[in-house]
Amino acid sequence: MTNIILLGPPGAGKGTQARRLVEERGMVQLSTGDMLREAMSSGTEMGKKVADVMNRGELVTDEIVIGLIEEKLGAAQGTGFIFDGFPRTLPQADALGKLLARTGQKLNAVIEMRVDDEALVRRITGRFTCGDCGEVYHDETKPVKEAGKCDECGSSNLKRRADDNEESLKQRLMEYYKKTSPLIGYYYHAGDLFSVDGLAEIDEVAAQMAAVLDQQAG
């Protein structure tokens, strides 16, 4: 079992790389963003509570996201977990450490995806996803082959996220620098940190990640 965290600002490419690892290695992607959006679209009490916070680009409470991860960790089966967009605060990182220890698991690597802010604006404002299979696209760097249709599943249900605008991105970046970037130091001191060049092409980023994973597998 190989358990990893993908760490990086909004638009760094976490979801894109996580989906590849699911396909190529049979790992399980645990994206708190996806879980929260699911709760919003199914209209649960929790979903209603977090909608405004998410649209503003602020973080939802640690309690909510830790609860979500706890729920999924027990149920999922695979060759390891990819934590995508979690943890995002120091209390979340502590909670994850405890959860893994309690279930006799460990973290193999924390992969920091390095990008610069300027690239993130283009990444976020060009992003769209398939509402049916979850494939992630980009107007310029990863367009669909046939207009309006998902390459993977043929669906025409292509969507843009409500929070993928410059205003919300500004807030999300501020949250990232204030609350999430301290995790880089936290995991560096724990000896778990690896970095990849998130500005490279998707295949090249995937190759850099594969090198880390093959070295840390166990």
CA–CA gap between residue 106 and residue 218 (Å, rounded): 10
- Extract the tokens encoding 153: 């599943």
Q: Is residue 46 within the footprint of ligand ADP (CB under 6 A)?
A: no
What is the residue type of 38? Answer: E
What is the residue type of 195? Answer: S
Establish whether 88 is a catalytic residue: yes
Q: Is residue 94 within the footprint of Zn ion (CB under 5 A)?
A: no
Q: Is residue 34 within the footprint of Zn ion (CB under 5 A)?
A: no
**Which of these, 76, 126, 70, lies nearest to 102 by C-alpha position?**
70
**What residues from 87 to 146 belong to the interface with ligand ADP (CB under 6 A)?**
88, 92, 123, 126-127, 136-138, 141-142
Establish whether 149 is a catalytic residue: no
**Which of these, 23, 62, 14, lies nearest to 6 by C-alpha position?**
14
Tell me the closest approach of the beta carbon of residue 148 to ligand ADP, in angstroms: 16
Q: Which does 172 bind (CB under 5 to 8 A by kind): ligand ADP, Zn ion, none?
A: ligand ADP
Q: 143 — alpha (psi -120 to 50), left (phi > 0) or beta?
A: beta
Q: Quick one: which H or E segment has residue 51?
A: helix 45-56
Q: Which residue is nearest to ligand ADP (CB)?
A: 33
Interaction site with ligand ADP (CB under 6 A): 8, 10-16, 32-33, 36, 53-54, 57-60, 65, 85-86, 88, 92, 123, 126-127, 136-138, 141-142, 172, 201-202, 205
